[in-house]
Amino acid sequence: MTPRTTAVWRRLPKEWADQLHACCQRANDVSSDPTAVFFRADDIAVPGRQFQRLMEIFTRNEVPLGLAVVPAWLTPPRWQALSGMGASRPDLWCWHQHGWRHRNHEPLGKKQEFGPFRSADALRTDLDRGRRRLNAIMGAAFSPLFTPPWNRCSEITLALLQEMGYDAVSRSRSSQPPAPSGLPDHAVDVDLHTDRASSAANGWQRLISQLEKRLRQPRCGIMIHHQRMNDAAFCFLDTLLSILRQQARWHMTDMRDLPT
């Protein structure tokens, strides 16, 4: 089943580009202090037209992109196709681990693949299985960062990530429990494609508000789900990247190079 496009992208305001420019200008006017901006795309493994379009936009704008790959979904032919779509600028892509199967294991509450319901042995097994698979298929292109499905994971998972030598975890801002000292948490702040606003107007206002708030901060992480994108969402993303590249205070940063 194709993931549903959220309300905001089904009905953008007529003057959305002007509003986006104004939002970024307000954020830029607040301070001259630099902001590290990074983008992370989740649920990667299956090549297709939308993924190719995503890669073309980031390549054209010369902006790095973290690509969170679901290990169990990846095959050598798929990897050949995915990597081929970014072959002209391999330096832009941070290919890293997105869980194991992207499967919920929590019987109650919010979805988690690496949540508190599972034992340490089960968590370790799936972490290791996923990392080994990506290493075997991707080789040197694989980066040992971990994005948990649904941006959530347990305290045991965080400890295992540190013990197993992962460079960082990437979750939502203010996620609990906090990551242990020595394991950087590259948090995302702005959700472009899975927001559950009740209307397009509410979704747009929330998105613009989030962007303006986070672009004023020392760091801003922006999350993408390309399967949910339509023409409007792609056009918005292309415009956003172009705007951000024009201002010196916003540093388009590779996830591998984020300050710890």
- Is 213 within a domain? yes
pLDDT at residue 13, as a whole number: 94
* Conformation bin of residue 91: beta by default, left when phi > 0, alpha when psi is -120 to 50: alpha
- Is 229 within a domain? yes
pLDDT at residue 198, as a whole number: 83
Residue-range definition of the domain harbouring residue 171: 7-257
pLDDT at residue 2, as a whole number: 58
Q: At 218, which CATH number?
A: 3.20.20.370
Mean pLDDT split into 10-residue runs, the chain, 260 residues:
80 95 93 92 97 98 98 98 97 98 96 97 98 98 98 98 98 95 96 89 94 95 97 98 94 93
- How far apart, in whole angstroms, are the C-alpha atoms of residue 138 and residue 83? 9
User: What is the Cα gyration radius of the chain?
Assistant: 18
H or E element that contains 84? helix 76-85
**Residues 162/168/174/180 CA torsion (nearest 10 deg):** 20
pLDDT at residue 1, as a whole number: 47
- Is 55 within a domain? yes
- How far apart, in whole angstroms, are the C-alpha atoms of residue 94 and residue 168? 12
- Is 1 within a domain? no
pLDDT at residue 117, as a whole number: 97
